[in-house]
A and B are shown apart, each in its own frame.
With several copies, the nearest count.
Chain A
């Protein structure tokens, strides 16, 4: 078993005719992802990278027996695209788009919850299961190697950094999930921990967090109470000054909660070793595996 995405995942790309959709669908195809259709209203009958395009998600799903979606639709329309994928029972729905209004995020997350569908993102690099050669996202596939460690992160490039470090150290990944950098995302760290904890193909968990919010603290508490599998963590932003917005909407510190120190303390308290620098993750994993 693998988490959320396996060899039977049949993917549609919403917004495939846009520059992002075209570029990344090619990159996904090259990686091995089973992309079976693209969607763009008004473009049915066209092809992008050899992938047939349909007017609607339902049409694409019915014609190609698809069961998952990756969304590259521009921010003002991404919420609608996600609702369309959810209405068509695709699962997971991976929303790559950044700058999605927070109200739209709340709507799609709860629409998905009502149907037990997993939304990954928005503002995520996506999800990758290396052993199945399935990448639903924009990450450079070659830095991820197959194995038995689950990786989750709120960050993009930092995830690649850590995955590359693991790969270099000979530690493979069961599934890596970019949870998304926005305040409201479909899959929370706790939910992702829970998925990995239940996955028979995952022996250990890596959590990559950053300052802002208290999602890491909550995940740490959850691990302490519910998770027996070994886990290690990295937190970015130890030296970030308070009150400054550093890129991500999430990366702003208010009050004492949300600081790197608070997060590191929570993980330490939960018995989860925290790496000082990204390359230490591999070392810590070797200790716990």
Chain B
């Protein structure tokens, strides 16, 4: 789960980390008030779960509360990366001595957390990696041992710091690690971390993603976030509730399959035969008839769908249950477009028999099925 900058900073402060003075505003008036409270020049920042908001114009400086209100008004009307901006964060504009990059994420190859730091912050880590790879310091954390204070100091030293800054920056990394462990963080990035002219380290930006698989441990946090419903349409919301993976695309063929890899491969096959998918719908493993019917129902609600391709490779999922679900969907009148079915694996014969009795045709290979559904859409066009 991705947190907004201001939510991440609430957590940072709860762990004793320093952030610039300021607060969230949902209206220009609130922004003015926040800026007045700060009492100094401020920065007004769009709160969206998307990167590069700066380049999109979502970050603006203001010398007065009035100016802050004006910027807030503009930013609150924006969409960044297709997401509407519903709030801004108004914070003191810092007196910068140095911009630093700091992050912790999962290294899939080492299968350890990796701490990433650079004395050259302010740009994205990808740009930094391209422009000055030697300036990026990486330290892998042994999962059972955690980040040790001396390791944190070594990171700070390798990042080029000296004197008192070594221990102060090390303290920052130790806090960040503490947050990662306590909150099951999958990725956190502070870019920039600001070393102020008076020698303090403040998190000027904050990205924090919590491991979805560990959310069950953090119910209180999630409640406290008082999140408005996700930026999802009704179909996406429904699929999420059902635990299905559902993505809408620009084509016209809904692919309903079991397993992410198979669903992706099905989309690829449709494309290979000249078609375009409208829908990625992974039912997951072990679906029963009801769930299959529900999946078809959700897929049919998307206006772009001109044909449905059901591609099931039965493993935990039983073909008889899938067949029952399809028959039920047909019977209930859910399916108003051409339907192509390919279904093999566990209880294949029972499933095929059910389809046969209901007069629903099916195919044996995914290539045939992909070709068929593409030609059906072309015929219909």
Instruction: Tell me, yes or no, whether A and B come into direct contact in the complex with CB atoms closer than 8 A.
Output: yes
- A residues in contact (CB < 8 Å) with B: 24, 41-42, 44, 55-59, 75-77, 80-81, 83-84, 87, 99-103, 105-107, 109-111, 125, 138-140, 143, 153-161, 164, 181, 183-185, 188, 208, 210-211, 213-215, 218, 234, 236-241, 244-251, 255, 276-279
Whether A102 touches B106, Cβ cut-off 8 Å, given contacts A57-B150, A277-B269, is yes
Contacts A105-B111, A155-B259 hold; do A42 and B267 have CB atoms under 8 A apart?
A: no
Given A56-B154, A110-B144, 16 further pairs, Cβ under 8 A: A41-B153, A57-B150, A101-B213, A101-B214, A101-B217, A138-B285, A155-B260, A157-B259, A181-B261, A183-B108, A184-B106, A215-B109, A237-B268, A241-B247, A241-B249, A245-B245
Select from chain A the residue with minimum beta-carbon distance to B258. A157
Q: Which residues of A contact B165 (CB under 8 A)?
A: 42
Number of B residues, CB within 8 Å of A: 66
User: A248 to B157, alpha carbons, bound, how many Å?
Assistant: 38
Instruction: Evaluate whether A161 and B313 lie within 8 angstroms (CB atoms) in the complex, with A215-B108, A279-B365 already known.
Output: yes
A255–B181 touching, CB < 8 Å:
no
- Would you list 16 pairs from A and B whose C-beta atoms are within 8 A, ordered by A residue? A41-B166, A42-B166, A75-B213, A101-B214, A102-B106, A103-B143, A103-B184, A156-B285, A157-B258, A160-B345, A210-B264, A213-B108, A234-B265, A240-B267, A246-B264, A250-B108
Residue B262 contacts which of A139, A155, A215 (CB distance < 8 angstroms)?
A: A155
With A41-B166, A75-B213, A99-B213: A140-B260 Cβ-Cβ less than 8 Å: no
CB distance from B219 to the nearest CB of A (A): 13
User: Does B263 contact A247, Cβ atoms closer than 8 Å?
Assistant: yes
Number of A-B contacts (CB under 8 A): 202
Are A55's CB and B113's CB within 8 A? no
Assembled-state Cα–Cα distance A248/B113 (Å): 20
3 nearest A-B pairs in the assembled complex, by CB-CB distance: A155-B261, A247-B260, A157-B259
Interface of A is mostly: loop
Please tell me if the beta carbons of B268 and A239 are within 8 angstroms of each other in the complex: yes
Q: Which residues 236-269 of B have a CB within 8 angstroms of A?
A: 245, 247, 249, 257-265, 267-269
Q: Which of B193-222 contact A (CB under 8 A)?
A: 211-214, 216-217
Given contacts A103-B181, A160-B315, contact A83 B267 (CB under 8 A): no
Is the pair B367, A279 in contact by a Cβ cutoff of 8 Å? Answer: yes
Is the beta-carbon distance between A278 and B259 smaller than 8 angstroms?
no
B316 within 8 A of A: yes
Neighbour of B144 across the interface among A107, A214, A238, A255, CB < 8 A: A107
Across the two chains, which residue of chain A brings its CB closest to B263? A247
Is B268 touching A106 in the complex (CB atoms < 8 A)? no
By CB atoms of chain B within 10 A, which of A125, A155, A185, A211 has the most? A155
B16 at the interface (CB under 8 A from A): no
CB within 8 A of A140: which of B184, B262, B345, B365?
A: B345
B 90-124 contacts with A by CB, 8 A: 106, 108-109, 111-113
Q: Is the CB of B143 within 8 A of A107?
A: yes
Once the chains are docked, how many angstroms separate the CA of A20 from the CA of B276?
A: 36
List residues of chain B with CB within 8 A of the CB of A101. 184, 211, 213-214, 217
Q: How far is the CB of A252 from chain B (nearest CB, A)?
A: 11
B214, A102: Cβ atoms closer than 8 Å: yes
Docked CA distance A139–B272 (Å)? 27
A106 to B141 CA separation, bound complex (whole angstroms) = 10
The reply to whether A246 and B268 contact each other, CB–CB distance below 8 Å, is: no
Please name all residues of chain B whose beta carbon is closer than 8 Å to the beta carbon of A245 when the two chains form the complex: 245, 247
- Name B272's contact: one of A75, A161, A249, A277 (CB within 8 Å): A277
Is there an interface contact between A143 and B267, defined as CB atoms closer than 8 Å?
A: no
- List B residues 146-187 near A (Cβ within 8 Å): 148-151, 153-154, 157, 162-167, 170, 181, 184, 186
User: Within 8 Å CB of A81, what residues of B?
Assistant: 150
Q: Out of A110, A155, A188, A248, name the residue touching B142 (CB < 8 Å).
A: A110
Is B326 interfacial (CB 8 A cutoff)? Answer: no
| A140 to B316 CA separation, bound complex (whole angstroms) | 8
Chain A residues, CB < 8 A from B184: 101-103
Q: In the complex the two chains form, is B148's CB within 8 Å of A236's CB? A: no
* Set of chain A residues within 8 Å of B272, measured between Cβ atoms: 276-277
A156 contacts across to B, CB distance below 8 A? 259, 261-262, 285, 315
Contact check, A102 vs B213: say whether CB atoms are below 8 A apart: yes
Of B260, B271, B346, B366, the residue contacting A248 (CB under 8 A) is: B260
Residues of B within 8 A of A164 (CB): 313, 344-345
* Contact residues in A for B267 (Cβ distance below 8 Å): 237, 239-240
Q: Which residues of B contact A143 (CB under 8 A)?
A: 345
